[in-house]
Structure 1
Amino acid sequence: MAHTNGTTKMPDTYGLTRDAKESARLNMQHALWRENLGFLLHPCVAADLPDGARIGDVGTGTGVWLIELAEECGRAKHSYEGFDISSSQFPSQPPQGLAFSVLNVLDPVPQHMVATFDVIHLRLLVLGLPKNTWELACRNLLQLLKPGGWLQWEEADFGSMEILQNEPSASREASVNLIKNLVRHGLERGQGWEEVLMLPSIAGAAGFADVKTDVFGSDRVSSTRHEFSKVCMAALSGIAEMHKKMDGGSGYWASDEAAKLQEAAAQELSSGKIYLRANLSVVYAQRPH
């Protein structure tokens, strides 16, 4: 449904819930993501950051990335702004020096925001950006940035997620099939699972220069494996529920078969004998000077 606040024209295609439980999951996901990447701002971006930089976080959700960056860099040193298509997960009392507002990255950029940011950060927009909209998003992000400004866009290749064993003969069939079914149904609905791997070329086609990609394993820090797997399984359950709602409460995801598959996958994970692993990519590039 499109927002009616006068600023968002494109529909809100993000399918997961925005309740307190999902906010807690997002915050945990962020902590695990940060630990495995080892940074908030990519070192190449951080090294080029001017004093008094204007930093934007698009798809900010709970704002946790922005809040932690402000704590790390100093709230007074830069200006920090979080944007999302919905305000429902914004902090109820934002820390001093941080601002949050509604913005849809697929809408035309407001004139007063053109070429005003030094850094634009995004993470995990795969469920919010339908197929064939990613280049439009990149063109709009390019407009937000000053000449020489940086884009840092992080995604995970959940479509190729691996289910790995901690011990011989551990069952993983249900988890493999759950992911396979979710990705297939998502592609049929026009979700941008394939665009994740195409993002560097999409950014280049939109006008970004010197596009580079770093790839980290979600298990780079081995102690995070189990918690990361739990966070991912919760997200997969949310995606299944999203498909169920899209089908009007009927169809495959409302069936006993789908419910049994989800339950079996959850049991495989809770046994501690398997874990989920994904590649975490960081695409970073500049608006040409």
Structure 2
Amino acid sequence: MSSDTNGYALHRNYHSSARLNAQNHLWKDALGYSLHPCIGLSPDHVPRIADIGTGTGIWMMDVKREYPAAQIDGFDVSLAQCPPPEWLPDGVRLRELDLYEPLPAELEGIYDVVHLRLFFVVIRNNDPSPVLQNLLRMLKPGGWLQWSEHNYESWSVQSVGGRETTPALDEMMKMMKQTGLGEWVPGLPDTFARHGMVDVRKELHPCSPHSRVYWSQLQFNSNEEYSYLAMENSSSDAAGPRLRNLICKAADECRQGAGFDFTIEVALGRKPMKDS
């Protein structure tokens, strides 16, 4: 979660909000859960849950249906994509927060669960430790952290129907890997352990073949946004227009039976109990 000047290079308009809401559906389709079963919440439990980088707040709506008694706070540096507070379910609140700033004292040690995903585009210097330290401060002793991410190194291009080449999709994938974003993701469980977390585990969730086209379309959407906001657009042969032309070609390949394939990585761990 970061401000526009600190690494967030996508829109916060209605197109982006629709993309995030669709992404939430696909994410849950891949994982099969909103909160991992190992966290062990029962539907009648009254946990306090923090959703970091809440975006549109859509993940909180899923969790509130599954755990009606939960008290859920959604945090982001911008709440522009969220519903009005008056339209939120009882027990769901919103608050602006930047995890690269000192954590407000009233948020320390109050959450049973802290959830976040897709910070790979805003983590600085390939080091999640500054963010993790604030997340741990938010947790109660014994509280769970669930952090799920993309790892571009797991990405590949798959095709059907005997298609031999996918040059546009291959080029897009190469460009994404060359950014170096998310190089820290595979080592996130080790980072948890170094910060004293216990019961640390990693879950790997491949995307289903039926969802490859949907995920690819979302990637086209986000890359197009990025091309306008973070790339040169001063001429027809500048980087932004070139990427958008590549996206059009990749979308044609997708319609002909090709798409991105990858594995979502989920790191889980608990804050240790206080010393007795």
Question: TM-score, normalised to structure 2's length?
Answer: 0.89
**Relative to 1, partners in 2 of residues 1:249 and 1:14: Cα closer, same or farther, differing over 3 Å?**
farther
Equivalent position of 1:84 in the other structure = 76
Equivalent position of 1:268 in the other structure = 253
Unaligned runs of 5+ in 2: none
Equivalent position of 1:283 in the other structure = 267
Equivalent position of 2:96 in the other structure = 102
Are residue 143 (structure 1) and residue 134 (structure 2) matched?
A: no
User: Is residue 48–residue 110 contact of structure 2 (8 Å, CA) maintained in 1?
Assistant: yes
- Deviations along 1:223-268, one digit per CA (max 9) or x if unpaired, are 3232222122222323333431xx5757952354x34322211211
1:253 partner letter: A
* Structure 1 counterpart of 2:203, from 196, 209, 214: 214
Rounded to whole Å, the distance in 1 between the matches of 2:166 and 2:28 is 27
Are residue 243 (structure 1) and residue 233 (structure 2) matched?
A: no
Q: Secondary structure at the match of 2:19?
A: helix
Equivalent position of 2:13 in the other structure = 19
User: Is residue 233–residue 239 contact of structure 2 (8 Å, CA) maintained in 1?
Assistant: no
Structure-to-structure mapping, 1:250-261, within 5 angstroms: 253-254=239-240, 256=242, 258-261=243-246
- Deviations along 1:108-127, one digit per CA (max 9) or x if unpaired, are 11111110100000011111
**Relative to 1, partners in 2 of residues 1:70 and 1:13: Cα closer, same or farther, differing over 3 Å?**
same
Rounded to whole Å, the distance in 2 between the matches of 1:110 and 1:210 is 27
- The percent of aligned pairs where both chains have the same amino acid is 29
**Relative to 1, partners in 2 of residues 1:241 and 1:206: Cα closer, same or farther, differing over 3 Å?**
farther
1:261 partner letter: L
Rounded to whole Å, the distance in 2 between the matches of 1:264 and 1:160 is 23
Unaligned runs of 5+ in 1: 4-9
Are residue 203 (structure 1) and residue 192 (structure 2) matched?
A: yes
- Deviations along 1:122-171, one digit per CA (max 9) or x if unpaired, are 01111122224411111110000000000000112234311101121243
2:201 partner letter: K
Q: Secondary structure at the match of 2:245?
A: helix
Which range moves more in the overlay, 87-96 or 111-120? 87-96
Equivalent position of 1:6 in the other structure = none
Rounded to whole Å, the distance in 1 between the matches of 2:130 and 2:160 is 42
- Deviations along 1:162-194, one digit per CA (max 9) or x if unpaired, are 11011212431111111212332x33xxxx420
Deviation at 1:198, TM superposition (A): 2.0
Q: Secondary structure at the match of 2:40?
A: helix
Equivalent position of 2:211 in the other structure = 224
Rounded to whole Å, the distance in 1 between the matches of 2:227 and 2:153 is 14
Q: Secondary structure at the match of 1:183?
A: helix
1:240 partner letter: S
Rounded to whole Å, the distance in 1 between the matches of 2:124 and 2:105 is 25
User: Is residue 39–residue 144 contact of structure 2 (8 Å, CA) maintained in 1?
Assistant: yes
What do you get for the CA RMSD once the two structures are aligned? 2.3
* Structure 1 counterpart of 2:124, from 125, 130, 134: 130
User: Is residue 162–residue 277 contact of structure 1 (8 Å, CA) maintained in 2?
Assistant: yes
2:81 partner letter: Q
Rounded to whole Å, the distance in 2 between the matches of 1:234 and 1:170 is 25
Deviation at 1:90, TM superposition (A): 1.4
Rounded to whole Å, the distance in 1 between the matches of 2:195 and 2:267 is 14
1:260 partner letter: N
